[in-house]
Amino acid sequence: MFNESHLKQLEQGLEDMHIMLPLEAREKLIEFLRMMVKWNRVYNLSAIKEPEEMVSLHLLDSLAVLPFLHGKSCIDVGTGAGLPGVPLAIARTDMRFALLDSNSKKTRFIQQACIELGLENVLTLHERVEEYRPEQKFDTVTARAFTAMPDLLSKTRHLLTTGGKLLAMKSKETAALESDNFQFASVESLVIPNLDATRNLVIYTAV
């Protein structure tokens, strides 16, 4: 289970990534993983079981998106167990987050995690992305291991304000795609401490 060494691993990783977070946020991040391990036994939230891997693959990987968040609101589509949405919401309490997934077990976990962590800036949505119609559109869409890039472009435009950003975490699929609704912006290479895998952030702007 998680202990002081995992908090130190998180803190070293954040330092390497040049991300500054208060102690309360760092402790909440570790507590979130503790909850994930507990619920994982019944709800199969993640295939990752080792605490050291979870710090890198769940927390640091999610927080790598932090510098690219745009505006005051973000919707995380296909959020699963709340990744990257919950870590981002812990780090950016000044932003409004919606975490959307069609799996009710996973949204139930997120709902409970947000209650226990005292996250008042998170709305949990048990919805299909193409069917959800927000009253107020978002400035940023995040997606991690959700769907193929063409599908993502076709399914998320209605969620974004004009000029809003789509941030897609991809290992591949980095080529610029033509779209009537989005303009390709850039591909950013994400370096995650203690992680050899290729991580890219593919960014599109809503038009």
Q: What is the CATH number of the domain that holds 102?
A: 3.40.50.150
Residue 54 counted as domain residue: no
Kindly report, residue by residue over 91-118, the tens digit of the pLDDT.
999 999 999 999 999 999 999 999 999 9
* Token pair belonging to 87: 């870590």
Average pLDDT estimate for 82-86: 97
Cβ atoms within 10 Å, residue 184? 16
Helix (H) or strand (E) holding 16: helix 4-16
pLDDT > 90: percent of the chain: 84
What does residue 131 show for φ and ψ, rounded to 5 degrees?
A: -100, -15
**pTM score of the predicted model:** 0.96
* Token pair belonging to 161: 């304000």
**One-character DSSP codes across 103-155:** -HHHHHHHHHHHHHHT-TTEEEEES-TTT---SS-EEEEEEES-S-HHHHHHH
Q: What is the mean pLDDT of the chain?
A: 94
Whole-angstrom Cα distance, residue 121 to residue 127? 19
Cβ atoms within 10 Å, residue 187? 15
The pLDDT of residue 1 is above 80: no
| Confidence bin at 50 (pLDDT 50/70/90) | confident
Residue 194 counted as domain residue: yes
Kindly report, residue by residue over 125-182, the tens digit of the pLDDT.
999 999 999 999 999 999 998 999 999 999 999 999 999 999 999 989 999 999 999 9
Residue 41 counted as domain residue: no
Q: 134 is in which domain, residue-wise?
A: 63-206
**Cβ–Cβ < 8 Å for 169, 65:** yes
Residue 172 counted as domain residue: yes
